[in-house]
Amino acid sequence: MKTISQSVRTFVILICLSLVTVTINGQVPVFKKPSPGDNRKAMVGERIGITDVTINYDRPGVKGREGKIYGTDVVYEGFTDISKEYGTSTNAPWRAGANENTTIEFSTAVKVEGKDLPAGKYGFFVAYGKEECTVIFSKDNAVWGNFFYNEKNDALRVKVKTVTLDKSVEWLKYEFINQTKNSATIALQWEKVMIPFKVEVDLIKTQLDEYTQALKTDKGFAWQSWIEGVNFCLKNNVNTEEALKWCDVALQFDKNFQILIAKAQVQEKLGKQAEADVLKKEAFPMASMDDLHNYGKQLIATKKSAEALEIFKMNAKQNPKKFTTSMGLTRGYSANGDYKSALVNAKVALTLAPDETNKKFVEGIIKKLEAGTDIN
């Protein structure tokens, strides 16, 4: 990374070069060009749950400066007054990269180190400390470097521990590590220093918001979309009253097993068991083998293992000696802790496997059952 004076000189040179290219009508052509010096422009992103996170930054290199980067004018500690060199910032943090300021964008609201941050694009800065850093998300996302940084525009500040790395990272980078279904740690790594911060999303809320908005678009013209949303609500025990309305919308398009059984399950959630029983009696004669199999798996996912086994048994009686129904019985018995019966049915399924991929899948299941492990 350049010193402040070097950065200013580069910035001024770029402005001068752009003025030279002004055309007769006063317009300034804009072209893609390499980053100044040997720095590399980069973009990295990942989806956490259904939240897209995108980081744009310039990558400075160590270039033989091991031990001479942190705590120096390259990455100074804390904040510093750079207004005498250029710009207006009298209390500027490090720009967490080179050249233009680093930006980070979240497609939904998130939590950073447990603190709320709304959806949006932010300028990203770091006040470096040997033991602890302050990472800063600024509403200013289109300024050059840190020359116009103003803490009044901070959207969030959080403190994180500085981590020492065993091996040196030549080119500054951002990585997503320690991922779970609803979180990830974003780690700035350069030289032998890592500055990590944890990002979490409310996966249930963001997914529910996605369904709610999407069903208002052209996606809402298919009954399958409404029932997918209903099944999400059932699995996560949320939005039950609205889910019942979604079932009724789906019934405007079609009347089939999947819609009726979904509505019956919602009614059960709402304590309307008698109404649910009526719908189930109407639904079961409409069910295909795959319908019953998928319904049984859904019951297992919602911790209704005994009911799931009864569905799998019904399916096997109606569709005997089929790979699907044998696998259903395997899952049903396993979910109820009867691994011996599950193993018997898994071995039957193995003889009915339609292809090599399914055969290997069943062989893996048999090994788990022999070890006394639930396959669901």
Which domain CATH number covers 289? 1.25.40.10
Measured over the CA atoms of residue 296, residue 297, residue 302 and residue 306, the dihedral's sign is positive
Residue 144 CB contacts under 8 Å (≥ 6 apart), including other chains: 11, 87, 99, 100, 101
For the segment 172-194, the average pLDDT, to the nearest whole number, is 97
Q: For residues 113 and 260, state if they share a domain.
A: no
Is pLDDT at 171 greater than 70 in this prediction?
Answer: yes
Give the model's confidence band at 143: pLDDT under 50 very low, under 70 low, under 90 confident, else very high.
confident
Q: For residues 338 and 311, state if they share a domain.
A: yes
Q: Is residue 30 part of a domain?
A: no
Is pLDDT at 3 greater than 70 in this prediction?
Answer: no
Is pLDDT at 38 greater than 70 in this prediction?
Answer: no
Q: Is residue 26 part of a domain?
A: no
Q: Which pLDDT does position 16 carry in this prediction?
A: 42
CA-to-CA distance for 53 and 68, rounded, in angstroms? 31
Q: For residues 282 and 182, state if they share a domain.
A: no
Q: Is residue 28 part of a domain?
A: no
Q: Share the mean pLDDT of the chain.
A: 91
Q: Which pLDDT does position 348 carry in this prediction?
A: 97
Q: For residues 171 and 191, state if they share a domain.
A: yes
Q: Is residue 192 part of a domain?
A: yes
Q: For residues 173 and 258, state if they share a domain.
A: no
Query: Which comes out higher in pLDDT, residue 12 or 43?
Result: 43
Is pLDDT at 192 greater than 90 in this prediction?
Answer: yes
Q: Which pLDDT does position 145 carry in this prediction?
A: 85
Q: Which pLDDT does position 18 carry in this prediction?
A: 42
Q: For residues 318 and 346, state if they share a domain.
A: yes
Q: For residues 130 and 251, state if they share a domain.
A: no
Give the model's confidence band at 144: pLDDT under 50 very low, under 70 low, under 90 confident, else very high.
confident
Q: Is residue 40 part of a domain?
A: yes
Give the model's confidence band at 36: pLDDT under 50 very low, under 70 low, under 90 confident, else very high.
low
> Where a domain ends, among 200, 224, 240?
200
CA distances from 278 to 198, 265, 272 (A): 49, 12, 10
Give the model's confidence band at 200: pLDDT under 50 very low, under 70 low, under 90 confident, else very high.
very high
Share of residues in the chain with pLDDT > 70 (%):
90
Q: Is residue 9 part of a domain?
A: yes
For the segment 337-362, the average pLDDT, to the nearest whole number, is 96
Identify the H or E element spanning 168. strand 163-177
For the segment 209-217, the average pLDDT, to the nearest whole number, is 96
Q: For residues 45 and 115, state if they share a domain.
A: yes
Q: For residues 142 and 13, state if they share a domain.
A: yes
Q: Which residues on neighbouring strands pair with residue 39, listed in sequence order?
A: none
Q: Is residue 153 part of a domain?
A: yes
Is pLDDT at 278 greater than 90 in this prediction?
Answer: yes
Position of tokens 């044998």?
326
> Where a domain ends, among 160, 177, 200?
200
Is pLDDT at 24 greater than 90 in this prediction?
Answer: no
Q: Which pLDDT does position 2 carry in this prediction?
A: 43
Q: Is residue 304 part of a domain?
A: yes
Q: Which pLDDT does position 27 carry in this prediction?
A: 55
Which structural domain range is residue 299 located in? Answer: 204-370
Is pLDDT at 186 greater than 70 in this prediction?
Answer: yes
CA-to-CA distance for 275 and 173, rounded, in angstroms? 58
Least confident of 24-28, 62-66, 154-158, 311-315: 24-28
CA distances from 171 to 46, 64, 104, 186, 363 (A): 20, 11, 19, 16, 46
Q: Which pLDDT does position 341 carry in this prediction?
A: 97
> Where a domain ends, among 165, 200, 235?
200
For the segment 31-55, the average pLDDT, to the nearest whole number, is 82
Please count the structural domains in the chain.
Answer: 2
Q: For residues 196 and 228, state if they share a domain.
A: no
Q: For residues 156 and 210, state if they share a domain.
A: no
Q: For residues 185 and 266, state if they share a domain.
A: no
